[in-house]
Amino acid sequence: MPSPFSRQVIFWLFLLGGLMFGLGWALLPVKIGTFLEPGDFAAVHAVMRPWIWIFRVHIFGFVTAVMALVALGSVLRDEEVRALAWPGIAIAAAGLVVGALSAAFYYHHGAWGALATAGFSPAELRAHVDSLATDTEYVTCLVRFARVFVGLGQVVLALGLLRGGVLPRWVSYGAILLGLAAMALTMGLPDDLELYAPVFYLDCAWLAGVGFAARRAESWPASGLLGPAAASGERGAR
């Protein structure tokens, strides 16, 4: 069983990751769509300071979720569990990092564009938006890859957790359902990125739920996990 300190670290990282990820987007006063529109800049400019700080919370939610997954992986001991869980964590973490970089594109162009286009005429605003079209198309591709990578990672991680009986089964089954839904929606309907919204919010709830599940000592079986005694034994063997 992981030490109380390890459980607390995992709990807080998953909880904060889920809250920052979800609330950072839900509370954003102006939500920029897949493609920037001329009216976005004036709307962002009107609430510039809170918009910037809330968007930062959302972006750091991606990063905190990566930390949470790595923290969970660090306490897994069983070789068969790690053989699935670690690759799943790696690909999910890669997807979250790509997602953070994609979100940073909208963050930067929303804030910078709001300042740079202040006082522009409608024609100038349209020209500015059109100049970003190629870059935006590339970023939408990154958004798709991020969602698919996270979904695939969740499925593989869940299989590893099920293999070792790590955490309650709803954690693994929830990850499998969310991962499959993310991949199906993103690859099946690639031009309708907004349909992913329910999966996004459920993912945020799943992250927070994993934190609470990890905090409960009785949720952790002895097998498949690295506890203080096992860690000392491994260091002694080396």
In a domain, 94, yes or no: yes
pLDDT at 135: 93
In a domain, 238, yes or no: no
In a domain, 56, yes or no: yes
Number of domains the chain is built from: 1
In a domain, 237, yes or no: no
In a domain, 46, yes or no: yes
Q: What is the mean pLDDT of residues 132-148?
A: 94
In a domain, 75, yes or no: yes
**Interval 79-127: pLDDT, tens:** 888 999 999 999 999 999 999 999 999 999 999 999 989 888 899 999 9
Domain that holds residue 226: 4-231
pLDDT at 225: 52
Residue 221 has pLDDT above 90, yes or no: no
Q: What is the pTM of this model?
A: 0.87
Residue 223 has pLDDT above 80, yes or no: no
3-state secondary structure 76-117: ECCHHHHHHHHHHHHHHHHHHHHHHHHHHHHHHHHHHHHHHC
Residue 233 has pLDDT above 50, yes or no: no
Q: What percent of the chain has pLDDT over 90?
A: 73
Taking the C-alpha atoms of residue 21 and residue 205, their distance in angstroms, rounded to an integer, is: 10
In a domain, 236, yes or no: no
Taking the C-alpha atoms of residue 215 and residue 220, their distance in angstroms, rounded to an integer, is: 9
In a domain, 221, yes or no: yes
